[in-house]
Amino acid sequence: MVRLVCVNSGANHKGGLLIIPMIKILSAVLAGCLYFGWNHDFAHHSRAPLVPPPNIIVILTDDQGYADVGFHGSTDIRTPNIDRIARNGVVCTEGYVSFAVCGPSRAGLLTGRYQDRFGFSRNPLVAPNDPGQGLPTSEQTLADLLKKADYSTAVMGKWHLGAHPSQHPNRRGFDEFYGFLGGGHQYFPENLKLKDLSEIKSEYDSYRTKLMHNTKRVDENEYLTDALSREALRFIREKQNKPFCLYLAYNAPHAPLQASEKYLSRFPDITDPRRRTYAAMVSAVDDGVGNILDLLDELKLDRNTIVFFLSDNGGPTPDNASDNTPLRGKKGDFFEGGIRVPFAVQWPGKIPAGSRYSNPVISLDIFATAAAVAKVKPKNRLDGVNLIPFLTGQNKGIPHDYLFWRNVDQKSLAVRTRNEKLIAQPDAEFLYRLKDAIGETTNLARQDLKTLERLKTSANDWNRQLPPPAFLGLMQEKEYNQSHPERFKIVEDF
């Protein structure tokens, strides 16, 4: 214990010592601390370090079947690295996308809104001189959003949101783009013979164009899936010191079915050649996912990075030998096999590892989650929700009372609640209790008229809010070509 005294020759002091009042002692101590700089060190060490917002990685596959991941029980196609995401975090067993084919599904994911709200109701065509054939500029993309929080942003792979220069990823918030603009692509570099869109004569000619790095065409010498993984790794290394958002949009295992021997050799026991090639394509994606997870660990970024993994729609089982078991249906329809997809999320230290979440969630929630963790206010009203409180157990409720789907050309609607699902088509109605029968085998439409009418009313009320499609799509290509004879003419340079 230190006793502070001072000599005072004042008239009121006897014996030469005066005990300083406590308030003066504290003032003296503080002054001394400030003088010697101790207070600076104290303030420095007591102030909590600023934690940057988490990095966000969205890994999207194309046409992958619900059953074609290890975390859903696949035995013939091994996905050890994709399964790491599940082990590190949570499997959303009832994870959905907002449409049953590629383009509209991606538009919903990247805006956090039902794509029908802005007329993106069809697969867009490759039309480099048509600014209306794609994502309208009124919509804020995930990259636009996160740029407001000073994120670095990149998309690697399939775009499919418009081929006009105004729709280019670099003009939609992405700092970097490596990939292709259309709905599909050849995988082997020797097949990429066309230098740009000015040389194409049909939709599927675009599959043979050279890849783009930002706005420039480049020569690639690797198998496409490997090239996209390589570019993703490069971006993470380059941007590791500030928050980043990576949208890694693989086109595998979308047709054409093409795989290198490196991956084919892993599946000698699969006798169906289509299934074997499909498995090899999934395995190439799995390698890329593993390399990304390894790099996050190496750079000590894993605990401050949210990684989403999902497919853009269900598997087109007759076309690419995918497997949607135990779901009914396939890509293109509103049975579960068309819209329910492999869906896993990791955020080590935040989301409990090895957990499973069984309430319905949707790809629209990715945007809302990003907005919440980055603390950025979205420009438009969102249809998704922040998933983190639900996945951590902080919120015991359900993320969505209703999920909706619309297919204008088929004149069909679908609506999902926690337990029930309705599909309303012009010639049939299907009502299921999915918690009881995931395979949609028992149609209750004639047995439960009260639930049928309640869900139909909800779906019709939602549908009345929506505009008609903003453009003719892939299924109307012949009609579009007749009204746009110069469809492939380049009218503006990138």
Contact 149, 374 (CB under 8 A): yes
Residue listed under structure tokens 């004639």: 446
Q: Phi/psi at 300 (nearest 5 deg)?
A: 60, 40
Cα 474 to Cα 481: distance, rounded to the nearest angstrom:
11
Contact 386, 369 (CB under 8 A): yes
Q: Is 464 helix (H, G, I), strand (E, B) or coil?
A: coil
The tokens describing 246, both together, are 């990576």
- What are the residue ranges spanned by the domains of the chain? 5-41, 55-401+473-479, 409-463
The tokens describing 193, both together, are 């013979």
Categorize the per-residue pLDDT at 258 as very low, low, confident or very high, splitting at 50, 70 and 90. Answer: very high
Q: Which helix (H) or strand (E) holds 228?
A: helix 224-238
Q: Is 318 helix (H, G, I), strand (E, B) or coil?
A: helix
What is the per-residue pLDDT for 489?
85
Mean pLDDT over 416-441 rounds to 95
Asked whether the predicted pLDDT for residue 1 surpasses 50, the reply is no
| pLDDT, tens digit, 9 for 90 and up, residues 49-105 | 577 899 999 999 999 999 999 999 999 999 999 999 999 999 999 999 999 999 999
| pLDDT, tens digit, 9 for 90 and up, residues 269-325 | 999 999 999 999 999 999 999 999 999 999 999 999 999 999 999 999 999 999 999
DSSP letter string, 383-427: S----HHHHTTS--S-S-S-EEEEETTTTEEEEE-SSEEEEEETT
The vertex-51 CA angle with 50 and 57, nearest 5°, equals 155
Q: Which helix (H) or strand (E) holds 61?
A: strand 55-61
Contact 419, 359 (CB under 8 A): no
The tokens describing 265, both together, are 């050799």
This prediction's pTM:
0.90
Q: What is the mean pLDDT of the chain?
A: 91
Question: In CATH terms, is domain 55-401+473-479 a member of 2.130.10.30?
Answer: no
Cα 261 to Cα 258: distance, rounded to the nearest angstrom:
10
Active-site amino acid positions: 102, 160
Cα 91 to Cα 472: distance, rounded to the nearest angstrom:
36
Question: In CATH terms, is domain 409-463 a member of 1.10.3210.10?
Answer: no
